[in-house]
Structure 1
Amino acid sequence: MDESPLLAVLAPRLRHFTAVARTEHMTRAADAIGVPQSTLSRGIARLEHDLGVALFVRAGRAVRLTRAGRTLLRHAERAVAELDAAAREIVTDADAVRGRVALGFLHTFGAEAVPRLLREFRRTHPDVRFDLAQGGNDAIIQRLRAGEVDVCVTSPLPSDPALVSAPMYDQELRLVVPVDHPLADRRAGLPLAAAAGAQFVGYRPGFGLRSLTEAWCREAGFVPRMAFEGEDGETLRGLVGAGLGVALLAPSTHVTPGVVELPVTEPRTTRTVGAVWVAERQAGPAVRVFRDFLLRSGPALLAPSAADAPAGSGKPHSGPLRP
């Protein structure tokens, strides 16, 4: 296997030494690593001078290792292999700046969270191109399986062993009610069962928050009556403000006239947001670099900041990856 060009910069003397030790011939070693024989001979001589020992016994252009040379070779081959591997990894990561990433995400992250995430990523990888796909949880997972999406940001996270689900943070969902609703004064929090008699505004079937809303309501002892269904959180919030129902929604960074967000005390209305990708699919350098960035920086960039959102809206997830 050809050595990385960076190896000649990182460890030229070790590279020269191991080439001569392997071939036991100055000319063949010089040809093998593509340097003039005079350069190779001077490099070996300087190495022996600096170490204060002879590494080779010369017989014309043929050479053989001394005892000191054999000792150095054992360690030098490992060092050269490690440096070569590091150089290849660096080159691979550098190639990522010219790649393309297909990113899928929920509608709730489209207005601010994903643009903020991509802006920060492109500070260090300005030439990576993105294909963006928004949709409900079921739709973007389907596109992920079909190979149309490389990685997606979604909730709830799938338990399919064919997919890797990497939790990033937990997001509290609030009961959003009209400001003149009988429940609006319960600012300290209320059980979800208190909204059993209300009409609900919610996402269409196929959206993760729709399935979570139905599950939480069942846990609270009732089936929600959906008066309006939609695909956009801010639109649903506006319908609540118009007095058309109540909704379980992610906290908003914007003030919506006519609504109040109430913490739910029981059950725990919290969803885990994470990154998902196909376990066995080979990812290109750009996708791998973006995926690492997403897991490292996503919790802070996707979750509303403490200054922008109500308290408790997003907490980093510290648990293990869930396959």
Structure 2
Amino acid sequence: MELRQLQYFVQVARMQHVTKAAEELHVAQSAVSRQIHRLEEELGVRLFMQRGRNVQLTPVGQLFLKRAESVLADLDRAVTEIHEFLDPEVGEIRLGFPHSLGIQLVPKVVAAFRKLHPNVKFKFRQGMYPSLIRDVTEAEVDLAFISPYPDKSDHVTGEIILTEELFAILPANHRLAMEDSIKLSELKDDQFVLFSQGYSLRPIVWDACKEAGFTPKIGFEGEETDTIRGLVAAGMGVSLLPEIAMYQTSAMMPAVVKISEPHVTRSIALIRRSGEKMPMVVQMFHSFLIDFFNGEYKDK
């Protein structure tokens, strides 16, 4: 079994078309067909079946695809690690994070790191809590910022690097907009603009309202910090957002008011895969992040 046979097989499986796969691989269609045929002969099974002009994986082909992709991913990673071992300054870091951290925090730390290591490349992936856990577990990313820290995971490990306060955001004409601080219970009669299910800030706000003695009335839901902030500024309701989400300004900005009771916070963790040595360039970035948050953000 040859490496190129696995590469051709995976490409055909992804494209579901031999000609298109050959174009992507920059080889002749006949070469792809020949290698797939040889692979099937060696395995003694049919990996594809014809569906019009397309091809479709057989059940055993679907099983083999998972293993082939894993083998190729491990090989790519090994090549990358060798290059990074020779010179970590030209490596690549794959970083995951929720949208709320992409506004200010992630650009800030990446820019600070690249001042020291300008040739290091980054690949970013945004996602919700479950998808970020999965991305780390399945080696789609090397590191991920996440909130809250996953206490009961056998597949990831990490540390809390930042705890930040959540503030009430209100329409500019809200009766409490000019207050220095309020109790969360003072918003019990207001409609709330909350993140959709699956976003980590939603249960934080929900639990804080329950602690304040009421269940929030949901008027609108959104999937991005900008959306939540914009809907509140437009008078659609009230919400809670972390301080880091307030840095960006626009024509429509809500009033920001401190919450005196209860004290609402969220923790942000930096996670990685358990029991796996990080590539040198990732280790370098991980150490930088720990020092960065122990320094610049320690007293915030």
CA–CA separation in structure 2 for the residues paired with 1:115 and 1:263: 26
**Cα distance between partner residues in 1 of 2:295 and 2:230:** 27
Q: CA deviation at 1:95?
A: 2.5
1:173 lines up with 2:166 in the alignment: yes
Residue 267 of structure 1 corresponds to which residue in structure 2?
262
Pairing partner for 2:285 from 269, 287, 290: 290
- Report deviation, 1:161: 4.8
The yes-or-no answer on 1:124 pairing with 2:109 is no
How many residues matched?
214
Distance 1:225 1:300 in 2: 40
Q: Match for residue 222 of structure 1? A: 214
Cα distance in structure 2, aligned partners of 1:212 and 1:272: 10
Separation in 1 of the partners of 2:126 and 2:253? 28
1:192 Cα deviation after fit: 1.0
Q: Which amino acid aligns with 2:269?
A: G
Runs of 4+ that moved beyond 4 A: 91-94
Corresponding residue to 2:136 among 122, 141, 144: 144
Q: Counterpart of 1:144 in structure 2: which amino acid?
A: V
Distance (Å, rounded) in 2 between the aligned partners of 1:105 and 1:287: 15
CA RMSD of aligned residues (A): 2.2
With normalisation by structure 1, the TM-score equals 0.61
Following TM superposition, by how much is the alpha carbon of 1:244 offset from its aligned partner in structure 2, in angstroms? 0.2
Residues 113 and 144 (structure 1), Cα distance of their counterparts in 2 relative to 1, 3 Å cut = same
1:85 alignment partner in structure 2: none
Instruction: State the match for 1:101 in structure 2.
Output: 93
Distance in 2, matches of 1:94 and 1:265, equals 53
Aligned to 2:69: none
Q: Distance in 2 between matches of 1:111 and 1:290?
A: 20
Structure 2 partner of 1:254: 248
Matching residue within 191, 201, 210 for 2:193: 201
SS of equivalent to 1:158: coil
- Percent identical pairs in the alignment equals 31
* Contact preservation (8 Å) 2:144, 2:271: yes
Aligned to 2:87, the other structure's residue is in SS state helix
**Offset at 1:298?**
3.8
TM-score, normalised by the number of residues in structure 2: 0.66
* Unmatched segments (≥5 aa) in structure 1: 1-90, 304-313, 317-323
The Cα shift of 1:200 comes to 0.7
Question: Equivalent residue of 1:297, what SS?
Answer: helix
| Residues 227-242 of structure 1 aligned to structure 2 (within 5 Å) | 227-242=219-234
Work out whether residues 195 and 222 of structure 2, in 8 Å CA contact, stay in contact via their aligned partners in 1. yes
> What is the CA-CA distance between 1:94 and the residue it aligns to?
6.9
- Could you give the per-residue CA deviations for residues 210-259 of structure 1, whole angstroms, max 9, x where no partner exists? 12111111111222222221121122111101100001012311345352
Q: What secondary structure is seen at the aligned counterpart in 2 of 1:263?
A: strand
> Bigger shift: 206-215 or 240-249?
206-215
Q: 1:281: which partner in 2?
A: 276
Q: Note the C-alpha offset of 1:93.
A: 7.2
Tell me which structure has the larger Cα radius of gyration. 1
Question: How far apart, in 2, do the equivalents of 1:202 and 1:216 lie?
Answer: 13
Q: Which runs of 5+ in 2 are unaligned?
A: 1-82
TM-superposed CA distance for 1:270, in Å, is 1.0
**Aligned mates of 1:298, 1:181 — CA distance in 2:** 35
Counterpart Cα distance in 2 of 1:248 and 1:154 = 18
Residue of structure 1 equivalent to 2:16: none
d(CA) in 1 for partners of 2:249 and 2:131? 29
- The CA distance in 1 between the partners of 2:168 and 2:294, in whole Å, is 23
TM-superposition CA deviations, 1:267-322 (whole Å, max 9, x none):
11111122111221231111111111111114666x6xxxxxxxxxx845xxxxxx
